[in-house]
Structure 1
Amino acid sequence: MILNYYRVIQLTFLFFISIVRINAQIYSVSDIDSLQTIESKRLLEIGDYNGVVNMEKKLLKRSQELNYTRGEIRGYINLANFLCGLNRNKESFYFLTMADEKLKKFNDAVLTTRLNIIYGKNYQTLGLYKESLISFNKAIRLAYNISDKEDRNQRLNYIYNQKRIVFTARNMLDSVYAMERKLPMNSELYVALAERNLNSKRLDSAEYYLNKALSLHDQTPAESRSEVLMSFGKFHFEKKEYDKALQYYLKSLDATRKIGLKKSEGATYQLIYQVYKKQKNIEKANEYLEKYTVLNDSLTKVERDLLDIPIKKIINENSEKEKNNIYYILVAIISLGIVLFVVLHKMNKNKHKRKDILIMEKERETDILKKKLTSTFDELVQLAIHNDPLFLGKFKEAYPEFYNSLLLQCPTMTSKEFKLCALVRLNFSNKEIAQYDYISIRTVESKKYRLRKKLGLAADIDFNKWIMK
């Protein structure tokens, strides 16, 4: 009896010690390596972004306690990557800066490649496509220093896919096709091909690629699975099968909410709004349009507040390059002076000829621009007339300077107020605005009056003329 009693005490003590060890997270270096690679990948595939962020923070702390530099840097980079996926770019840039500083004294091709990939992803998220491509191209150069061939090829394929996304956003189709030729077929690429066929109304081809993507369901991360569901919704929407489209959109929405992907959530709200609009369910359509508007305003504000972070980094990088390359700059200036003396004489002879060519080129560019502006203006008018939710996004793309100047004048301007300004800019009358927004003319006049006060315009200033300037 006494022996059994002591045995129970011994087992209880051992259980207590094991619990303390787990809670204290006493990880070895090999534990950290395994968790930061295998377990992080598993959590990412099931869409547990918050779980993987919490785990990485604990592993980062343990790496610092062990003075395990590789684990610490990998932790910074992993956190930056996952936070970027959650649109928490400010935190992502913070961890990238920490990793960047550590990598100045720690040479590792894989980590430096990943660092530049995630810088590129952050720039891409913020719409800084030029800076994004610079980072991705730098990552490609660094990836060739990775000794493991399989790892190197995986990194390169990932970068090519990210560049494909950027080129798609910039409508650079030749570059998109070039990246696609470099990539092995996967779920994300099948979805991209399906979307392209949907846009061209080739529904049979779109369905073929969507089924291909669906066949890879078990090998696909949670984020990509939500994109497949969304694309199936678009497919059924094009076929006017609105109930089926709604089912897929709601499944996609549930997936993106669980992961925490705010941009995808907003895009899905917009698509659901369009379905309810087609079904003439005005109450539900307005509900999801409101959800989209609120979330979009929130994301726009966050992105606007974040823009100074990458800009500061770019400026700092340029300053650093200037310090490191000052000797080469001086040599280049002297060499340039010598070459310039020789070249100027030759340039003088061709001056008039070059001037004529430039004038002709400018005239051609002006003609192209006029045609493009006319086409864009007509498209915007039609979107406005049909009260299409895509109107604001298209307008911002067409008139970025107008949008930015309004934000500088009134940073708290809402989407609805900006839409009113956009309609005035497109020369809509009060009567037309009332007609297409389903409100009274008096309501339009009241909105203009409140907006005048918000913008701080004097009483003698004509609101419409001020907008047109």
Structure 2
Amino acid sequence: MNIQVNRSQKKKIGYFVGIFLLLLATTSCTPNAEEQFKAIDLPLIEKSESLERTGHLESCITLQNVFLKTFNADGYKAGEATCFINLAQLCFSADPKNYLIFLDEAKRKLVGSKSAAQMIRLYTAYAKYYNDIHMPNNAFYYTQKALTNAKKINDNEIKNNLLAEAYKIKGKIYADLLQSDSAYYYYYKSRLLKPGVIVDCLLAKAYLEDNKPDSAKAKLTQLEHLGDIKHTISYAMLMFNRVSGDYFFNQRQFNEAENAYLKSISILDSTKFFLGYNDVDLYKNMADIYYKRGDLKKEKYYITKWKLARMQQNKYIYESYEPAMASFLEEVTHKDRHDNNTMRLLMLVLSILVLFIVFFTFRIIKKHKLTKETSRKQTADFIKTIHDKRYDEVMVLAKENNSAFLSRFKDLYPKFIEALLIKNSTLENSEQVFCAYIKLGFTTKEIATYTFVQPMSVQQRKRRLRKRLGISSDVDLYTYFDNLTI
């Protein structure tokens, strides 16, 4: 639903802008960046979050545009950065392709800034973006930078607000990696500083994934009685119904699950909210419900919606890798330049970045010293295979769980299967397929999604595979298969 900015909303925005102009005028001579953030930026952030929370996306965008012009005219670059980060947050739910564009623009506005609060917001937003495109190491890098900057803030109100968001994102990263204990730890740290519907929904979702349905039910029951998510079209309401549907589906209460999922789909259809990678499985669950009822027409309809949504997600992630790594490399090399503080190194790094952007070659990627070995490996592997059509075909077949997958995989990695059979000549085709998924770097959650099983089943198969191949528990399977040769 393209929500129109009606007269009432325009009038409210007008009053809000008027108050802000007065605040800006009275604080423009204040040298303290922290006080300036609290007086000017924090109210704007809270107003923007309120509009987004209630689904008034168009009004929120209008608000950012008004303040961008105001801050630009007054030369308040940190304020402009606030608007760009706010716009990026909107893109997370409405237009994810522009998320990084707004964040990079905010980063340019904050060059030389002394505002630790602004830097925390920026780094937290980057962490959310990198986790969304399945680059957890990069996401951890930015959450650590956010938490480090928090030590520079004296005002507890500002610090607690920003730390709550950083902790929530860090919990989400751990949850997506199926590290439930760490996820709980950071979710609870977040809600201790700033309770909210979103973090409680994430907690309930983590309980479900950790096979704790009673804890999930208790959390959802608490949320059900909150007035601020009832009778509103909001991202919080979308999440609440989405997780409630998962709970009912998990408990085989299919009528209740259907009702909750339909409410989620209604909000999705009437807004521009964007589902996360694994959230699109609500369509697949709906298809399962109708399959059990024998309604094949609706089953086919939702299976089609699920496949289209997953294809859109895969396309988004694929297209995001290149600009995401370019942005991350710029951040890391900027840190190196600052540490060394020499003009020669500055020119060298800038030259390498230009060559990387122009030629996209693996040779140039190797010249960069990334602070994290895993990030360098991700970049090298991606650049090396981007033009390999056979690799692309194998990846597509794997994600579709296509019967031709193993045959194409053997063509691409003939010596890998030979090496496996040397280790154990009795490996069945299904076990070879499972090994191929691991060789291609798919996570436990991804393998579960593509092969239509639970993540717990994938973990069990990994343990059985270790016994079949004689691999000890302290050896990483992904590293082992990556180095496996005849």
Same-fold call, TM cutoff 0.5:
yes
Equivalent residue for 1:77? 85
Equivalent residue for 2:102? 95
**Alpha carbons of 1:318 and 1:273: their partners in 2 closer, same or farther (altered >3 Å)?**
same
Equivalent residue for 1:46? 54
Q: Which has the larger radius of gyration?
A: 1
Equivalent residue for 1:29? 21
Indicate whether 1:270 and 2:281 are aligned: no
Residues 127-161 of structure 1, C-alpha deviations (whole Å, 9 max, x = no match) = 11111011011111112222321221121121111
Residue type of the partner of 2:223?
A
Equivalent residue for 1:140? 147
Equivalent residue for 2:405? 422
Equivalent residue for 2:242? 230
Equivalent residue for 1:296? 310
**Alpha carbons of 1:412 and 1:63: their partners in 2 closer, same or farther (altered >3 Å)?**
farther
1:369-448 to structure 2, matched below 5 A, reads 408-410=391-393, 419-422=402-405, 424=407, 427=429
More divergent stretch after superposition (202-211 vs 243-252)? 202-211
Equivalent residue for 2:336? 322
* Contact 1:194–1:205 (Cα < 8 Å) also in 2: yes
* Contact 1:186–1:213 (Cα < 8 Å) also in 2: no
Residues 30-85 of structure 1, C-alpha deviations (whole Å, 9 max, x = no match) = 47848733431221120223431243123213322333333222112211222133
TM-score normalised by length of structure 2: 0.61
* Contact 1:407–1:413 (Cα < 8 Å) also in 2: no
**Alpha carbons of 1:217 and 1:225: their partners in 2 closer, same or farther (altered >3 Å)?**
farther
Residue type of the partner of 1:218?
D
SS in 2 for 1:106: coil
Indicate whether 1:55 and 2:47 are aligned: no
1:443-458 to structure 2, matched below 5 A, reads none
Residue type of the partner of 1:301?
K
* Contact 2:184–2:203 (Cα < 8 Å) also in 1: no
Indicate whether 1:121 and 2:128 are aligned: yes
The 2-side partners of 1:207 and 1:63 are apart by: 46
Residue type of the partner of 2:171?
R
More divergent stretch after superposition (191-200 vs 54-63)? 191-200
The 1-side partners of 2:105 and 2:202 are apart by: 34
CA RMSD of aligned residues (A): 3.7
May I ask how many residue pairs the two structures share in their alignment? 338
Q: CA deviation at 1:193?
A: 4.2
**Alpha carbons of 1:175 and 1:300: their partners in 2 closer, same or farther (altered >3 Å)?**
same
Q: CA deviation at 1:202?
A: 4.9
SS in 2 for 1:262: coil
Indicate whether 1:208 and 2:222 are aligned: no
Equivalent residue for 2:359? none
1:68 to 66, 76, 100: 76
* Contact 2:77–2:110 (Cα < 8 Å) also in 1: no
Stretches of structure 1 lacking an aligned partner (at least 5 in a row): 1-17, 331-399, 429-436, 438-468
* Contact 1:297–1:414 (Cα < 8 Å) also in 2: no
SS in 1 for 2:308: helix
Residue type of the partner of 2:85?
I
TM-score normalised by length of structure 1: 0.63
**Alpha carbons of 1:236 and 1:172: their partners in 2 closer, same or farther (altered >3 Å)?**
closer
* Contact 1:57–1:79 (Cα < 8 Å) also in 2: no
The 1-side partners of 2:138 and 2:336 are apart by: 18
Indicate whether 1:245 and 2:257 are aligned: yes
Residues 144-190 of structure 1, C-alpha deviations (whole Å, 9 max, x = no match) = 22232122112112111110110011122342243244232543444
Equivalent residue for 1:261? 273
Residue type of the partner of 1:247?
N
* Contact 1:297–1:415 (Cα < 8 Å) also in 2: no
* Contact 1:43–1:51 (Cα < 8 Å) also in 2: yes
**Alpha carbons of 1:409 and 1:281: their partners in 2 closer, same or farther (altered >3 Å)?**
same
Stretches of structure 2 lacking an aligned partner (at least 5 in a row): 1-9, 25-39, 345-381, 410-427, 431-450, 452-485
The 2-side partners of 1:83 and 1:230 are apart by: 20
Residue type of the partner of 2:291?
K
Residues 224-251 of structure 1, C-alpha deviations (whole Å, 9 max, x = no match) = 2222212222222233332221111000
**Alpha carbons of 1:257 and 1:110: their partners in 2 closer, same or farther (altered >3 Å)?**
farther
* Contact 2:146–2:166 (Cα < 8 Å) also in 1: yes
The 2-side partners of 1:422 and 1:414 are apart by: 5
Equivalent residue for 1:131? 138
The 2-side partners of 1:240 and 1:418 are apart by: 25
**Alpha carbons of 1:198 and 1:182: their partners in 2 closer, same or farther (altered >3 Å)?**
closer
Q: CA deviation at 1:409?
A: 4.5
The 2-side partners of 1:164 and 1:312 are apart by: 26
Equivalent residue for 2:197? 187
**Alpha carbons of 1:80 and 1:409: their partners in 2 closer, same or farther (altered >3 Å)?**
closer
1:106 to 100, 113, 133: 113
The 2-side partners of 1:263 and 1:127 are apart by: 14
1:139-178 to structure 2, matched below 5 A, reads 139-178=146-185
The 2-side partners of 1:190 and 1:254 are apart by: 22
Residue type of the partner of 1:150?
E
- Identity %, equivalent residues: 20
2:94 to 86, 99, 108: 86
* Contact 1:47–1:258 (Cα < 8 Å) also in 2: no
Q: CA deviation at 1:273?
A: 1.5
